[in-house]
Structure 1
Amino acid sequence: MASSSYTAKDITVLEGLEPVRKRPGMYIGGVGTSGLHHLVWEILDNSIDEAMNGYAANIWVTLHKDGSSLTIEDDGRGIPVDKHPGSKKSALEVIFTTLHA
């Protein structure tokens, strides 16, 4: 029988991107085809948002010959690289290293 004591010290806190690295399926739906489809959906959705809001005129989706990769490009605003006021880091760094940024 399992121990009946369950306290705060039994809780593990994962910081930064560690939870994504440890359990990617919780964030992208899996590490196989379903995860790739989810990531493609999210990236394409961002490009569509840029276009629908008047910041992009074109979206290019390239399916590569290897059958397991693709490229999505648009002519929108891109990712800002100036300093983020809260973190004092590049907005690019904040976006790629902070969950929900």
Structure 2
Amino acid sequence: MSELRDTELSAKVKGIEVTVTFPLAHGKPFHAKQAPETTVGTVRSEAMSQFGIQEEANSTYYLTHGGSRVDDGATLASIAGESEAVKFTLVKELVQG
């Protein structure tokens, strides 16, 4: 999505309701209202903090949306489009090495 389109969407949407679930966590999903220009990486970091997860050498964490991996640099506006809410799943992937 172009930067102009992201800017147009940001002007229309004052905040995006974000939900992150983590199947391995015990407890409630991460919920926050974020600015449309917030990156997926920022959301991932905040969700990991709430779930009590820290980066590990033998694994990597990323967010998926609609079953597809989302780049940390993507903005919420580019994922949500005109929607006022977006749901992600936090995935832990073991790294062989």
TM-score higher than 0.5: no
Higher helix share: 1
Structure with bigger RCO (C-alpha 8 Å, 6+ apart): 2
Q: Give the TM-score of the pair, scaled to structure 1.
A: 0.27
Q: Give the TM-score of the pair, scaled to structure 2.
A: 0.28
